[in-house]
Amino acid sequence: MADIIKLLPDHVANQIAAGEVVQRPASVVKELMENAIDAGATSIKLIIKDGGKTLIQVVDDGVGMSETDARLSFERHATSKISSAQDLFNLETKGFRGEALASIAAIAHVDMQTRTTDNEVGTHLKIEGSKIVSQEVVATPKGTSISVKNLFFNIPARRNFLKSNQVELRHITDEFHRVAMVHPNVEFHFYNNGSEIFNLPGTKHRQRIVHIFGSKMEHRLVPVNEETEVVKVSGFICKPEFAKKSRGEQFFFANDRYIKSPYLHHAVVAAFEGLIKSDTYPGYFLFLDVDPSSIDINIHPTKTEVKFDDENTLYAILRSTIKHSLGQFNVAPVLDFDHDPNLDTPYSYKEKGAVIPKVTVDATFNPFEESMAKKSSSSGNFHKQSTKGWEDLYEGLGNQNDHQEFSSVVIESESEEQGTLYSGKEAEEHLASTFQLRRKYVVSTVKSGMLVIHQNRAHERILFEKFLGEITVKEGVSQQLLFPLELTFNKQELSVLKEIQESLTNIGFVFESLEEETVKVTGVPMMVPESGIGTVLDRLIADYMEGYANGSISQAEMLAKALSRNLAVRTGDVLDSESQLMLVNNLFACKEPNLSPFQKITYTIISEGDIDKKFN
Ligand code: ADP
Ligand code: MG
């Protein structure tokens, strides 16, 4: 029997190999862009026509190739990147197989122009189906430009298998992102059918991600940084509230190479556990740096799958690093997907637990004293009286001038049972590190960095919750006026006053009668200065009418909003240090400290990391 084994001709072998390396236009894009990176390019241009079916061109300003190298680069297993098997374990480049150009040239029409810095003229090569069809000397800029036309022209089955131009373009864009993201210092341009779809200037990782995914990313990214003996992890995760139902913003890079790793993905998801819904995916852009000898990228021709020596350790490090970032940047606690504010018990006593009522005896009680008798007979009103008794009247007299000035602002302390950020010795320490900035912000320190509170909005939030609570549970404390105040209202205002009288009484207002246009006020909430009563009531009525016209919310809420708006300290008010501390404490004792009643941000935390960045 005759021998039947033959060596396949090169072009057939190349075609078979090409099937492994080049699955679709996006594979060509990946190979050409990676070659440009390996050539040290600082600027890379990608030009695509018809989803890459008609043209894929990559132009770089890298080192270029000599005439001989240019010809050799299309031979199979021709590479400048490794020379021994040992080099495989110390890869610093993207390419190493020396197969890409040979494979591409086997299944397409390739046109290459390249020039090194040392040569004044470059080389122009045309190759079709592995055959060199022309070679010329050419004047060309330093670097390399490779055009790939008519992909799979000689493998119709493959060509027919390609998807629509849009789908192919999407695959190409994915590859483009992966390369661009990991080389933020390199400038990239991407043209599709003549129009520029990406123009990425050289920058840093964060900005590159923002340039690629849009400015909305800016506020979503939380930095991740950890350096251990096994791995250096850097990059960003997206805040949990931006987790998406679809995949797409998950990126792992190992030693500057895009990789897929279901195992490490799981580590990230595990770190987000409890913070995102189970059917959503967290976004992440994570760069792992490991010792090149501890990673094997040789197990798959398209090289997105890698094998790490110590995957279990990597998993643990990754998971804890991300947990740490989530905690450090305060992203964890704000999440409560099923939270429905309407179901909350107002100013809730639910956390406080049950307390055994104390029987208190008023030692100064004199049943024969008229005012006392009145006090005890008006049931339910007891709390609205000043708790401190008659001394308050004198106190008011002595400080009358102070009380009449809006600008000297003192923020009262909330009840002690409420949770506070600082107390006792801690409070003293923080008092020293709390200060007012431009009469607008109160600045303090917290564990993760610097706390900046908008004094007006924060106080609005505090007062809003306080008044809302008082209106609902009727516990407002009243200060009795020494001389009842007479105020005049028109009919409409009067009718509004009557409508909200009960709520106003609950928070500490005492009206003698609301029948005449002249109204006698005999008591006001503790925090309303006597001189401001008229103004506060006027504004309150106006706000209430406006709010009422808009409808929708409850009277209690509307009033609490109006009161907080009118009574909160303002920008420009000077706060003494105790008031500053009180503001911090009371704000964080609120149920929803992060927003003012008018849905404005009340505070921000500038993390240590953010400050560090300013010094870079
Ligand atoms: P590999 O990248 O695995 O070495 P390729 O087939 O992609 O294999 O490239 C073969 C060789 O051609 C490379 O090793 C490199 O020397 C050279 N080469 C390819 N593209 C470029 C380029 N854009 N600039 C300079 N040299 C290049
Ligand atoms: Mg290559």
Ligand 1 pocket: which of 29, 45, 67, 79 to mutate (most atoms within 8 A of CB): 79
Find the 94 Cα to ligand 1 centroid distance in Å: 10
What is the per-residue pLDDT for 149?
97
What is the per-residue pLDDT for 489?
79
Q: Which atom of ligand 1 is nearest to the CA of 60?
A: 23
Q: Ligand 1: does its nearest atom lie under 6 Å from the Cβ of 51?
A: no
Checking if the pLDDT of 54 tops 90, the result is: yes
466-495: pLDDT as tens digits: 888 888 877 778 888 888 888 887 767 777
Checking if the pLDDT of 85 tops 90, the result is: no
What is the per-residue pLDDT for 132?
93
264-281: pLDDT as tens digits: 999 999 999 888 887 788
Find the 288 Cα to ligand 2 centroid distance in Å: 22
139-161: pLDDT as tens digits: 999 999 999 999 999 988 888 88
Cα–Cα distance, 259 to 489 (Å, whole number): 73
pLDDT grade for 550, boundaries at 50, 70 and 90: low
Cα–Cα distance, 327 to 320 (Å, whole number): 10
Higher pLDDT, 555 or 343: 555
pLDDT grade for 352, boundaries at 50, 70 and 90: very low
| Cβ proximity of 297 and 257 under 8 Å | yes
Mean pLDDT, rounded, for 218-246: 90
Q: Ligand 1: does its nearest atom lie under 6 Å from the Cβ of 31?
A: yes
Cα–Cα distance, 551 to 558 (Å, whole number): 10
Tokens at residue 369, please? 């004293």
Find the 110 Cα to ligand 1 centroid distance in Å: 14
448-460: pLDDT as tens digits: 889 999 999 999 9
Q: Ligand 1: does its nearest atom lie under 6 Å from the Cβ of 144?
A: yes
Across 212-221, 397-406, 460-469, 603-612, least confident range: 397-406
Element (H, E) at 587: helix 577-588
Closest residue (by CA) to atom 19 of ligand 1?
35
CA 173 → CA 14, 168, 395, 459, distances in Å?
A: 27, 9, 74, 49
Cα–Cα distance, 80 to 116 (Å, whole number): 15
Q: Indicate which ligand has the atom closest to the C-alpha of 77.
A: 1
Closest residue (by CA) to atom 13 of ligand 1?
79
Mean pLDDT, rounded, for 326-338: 60
Q: Indicate which ligand has the atom closest to the C-alpha of 100.
A: 1
Q: Ligand 1: does its nearest atom lie under 6 Å from the Cβ of 101?
A: yes
Q: Ligand 1: does its nearest atom lie under 6 Å from the Cβ of 61?
A: no
What is the per-residue pLDDT for 309?
85
What is the per-residue pLDDT for 195?
87
| Cβ proximity of 603 and 587 under 8 Å | yes
Contacts of 200 (CB under 8 A, 6+ apart): 180, 187, 188, 189, 208, 211, 212
Mean pLDDT of the chain: 81
| Cβ proximity of 114 and 140 under 8 Å | yes
What is the per-residue pLDDT for 429?
61
Find the 26 Cα to ligand 1 centroid distance in Å: 17
What is the per-residue pLDDT for 357?
53
Neighbours of 533 (CB within 10 A): 17
Closest-CA residue to 523 (of 536, 506, 539, 511): 511
Q: Ligand 1: does its nearest atom lie under 6 Å from the Cβ of 60?
A: yes
What is the per-residue pLDDT for 294?
83
Q: Which atom of ligand 1 is nearest to the CA of 93?
A: 2
Q: Indicate which ligand has the atom closest to the C-alpha of 104.
A: 1
Checking if the pLDDT of 305 tops 80, the result is: no
What is the per-residue pLDDT for 561?
86
How large a percentage of the chain has pLDDT more than 90? 40
Closest residue (by CA) to atom 14 of ligand 1?
79
Checking if the pLDDT of 32 tops 90, the result is: yes
Find the 102 Cα to ligand 1 centroid distance in Å: 10
Q: What is the pTM of this model?
A: 0.56
Q: Which atom of ligand 1 is nearest to the CA of 78?
A: 10
Find the 38 Cα to ligand 2 centroid distance in Å: 8
What residue type is assigned to position 317 of the chain? I
Find the 546 Cα to ligand 1 centroid distance in Å: 72
What is the per-residue pLDDT for 353?
47
Higher pLDDT, 295 or 419: 295
Q: Which atom of ligand 1 is nearest to the CA of 103?
A: 6
How do 250-254 and 284-290 pair as beta strands?
A: parallel
CA 361 → CA 365, 372, 387, distances in Å?
A: 8, 14, 13
| Cβ proximity of 246 and 339 under 8 Å | no
Q: Indicate which ligand has the atom closest to the C-alpha of 146.
A: 1
Element (H, E) at 253: strand 250-254
Ligand 1 pocket: which of 73, 115, 125 to mutate (most atoms within 8 A of CB): 73
Cα–Cα distance, 249 to 232 (Å, whole number): 21
Most confident option among 390-404, 439-453, 488-502: 439-453
What is the per-residue pLDDT for 445?
87
Checking if the pLDDT of 308 tops 90, the result is: no
What residue type is assigned to position 166 of the chain? Q
Element (H, E) at 392: helix 391-398
| Cβ proximity of 295 and 254 under 8 Å | yes
Ligand 1 pocket: which of 21, 33, 38 to mutate (most atoms within 8 A of CB): 38
3-state secondary structure of 120: coil
Mean pLDDT, rounded, for 232-252: 88
Across 37-41, 127-131, 248-252, 328-332, least confident range: 328-332
pLDDT grade for 215, boundaries at 50, 70 and 90: confident
Checking if the pLDDT of 411 tops 80, the result is: no
Tokens at residue 531, please? 């001189």
How do 435-437 and 441-446 pair as beta strands?
A: antiparallel
Mean pLDDT, rounded, for 175-181: 95
Cα–Cα distance, 37 to 258 (Å, whole number): 14
Q: Ligand 1: does its nearest atom lie under 6 Å from the Cβ of 79?
A: yes
What is the per-residue pLDDT for 416?
41
Alpha-carbon torsion (357, 361, 367, 372), positive or negative: negative
Contacts of 611 (CB under 8 A, 6+ apart): 449, 450
Q: Ligand 1: does its nearest atom lie under 6 Å from the Cβ of 142?
A: no
Most confident option among 171-185, 325-339, 382-396: 171-185
Rg of the chain over CA atoms, in angstroms? Answer: 36
Find the 613 Cα to ligand 2 centroid distance in Å: 36
Q: Ligand 1: does its nearest atom lie under 6 Å from the Cβ of 35?
A: yes
DSSP secondary structure letters along 530-563 = GGGHHHHHHHHHHHHHHHHHH--S-HHHHHHHHH
Find the 32 Cα to ligand 2 centroid distance in Å: 7
How many Cα atoms occupy the beta-carbon half-sphere of 407 within 13 Å? 3
Closest residue (by CA) to atom 23 of ligand 1?
36
Closest-CA residue to 129 (of 284, 13, 245, 34): 13
| Cβ proximity of 448 and 608 under 8 Å | yes
What is the per-residue pLDDT for 6?
80
pLDDT grade for 380, boundaries at 50, 70 and 90: very low
Closest residue (by CA) to atom 25 of ligand 1?
64
| Cβ proximity of 233 and 224 under 8 Å | yes
Place of tokens 């020039």: 115
Closest residue (by CA) to atom 21 of ligand 1?
35
Checking if the pLDDT of 344 tops 70, the result is: no
Cα–Cα distance, 180 to 62 (Å, whole number): 16
Cα–Cα distance, 524 to 538 (Å, whole number): 14
Contacts of 95 (CB under 8 A, 6+ apart): 31, 34, 35, 38, 79, 81
What is the per-residue pLDDT for 432?
63
Higher pLDDT, 392 or 576: 576
| Cβ proximity of 591 and 465 under 8 Å | yes
Q: Which atom of ligand 1 is nearest to the CA of 62?
A: 24
- Read off φ and ψ for residue 367, nearest 5 degrees: -65, -15
Contacts of 448 (CB under 8 A, 6+ apart): 328, 329, 330, 605, 607, 608
Helix 205-213 crosses helix 165-182 at what angle (to 10 degrees)? 160
What is the per-residue pLDDT for 374?
41
> Hey, which bits of 281-357 come out as E strands?
284-290, 295-296, 307-308
Neighbours of 335 (CB within 10 A): 15
Find the 21 Cα to ligand 2 centroid distance in Å: 11
What is the per-residue pLDDT for 363?
60
What is the per-residue pLDDT for 476?
78
Closest-CA residue to 227 (of 171, 279, 152, 290): 290
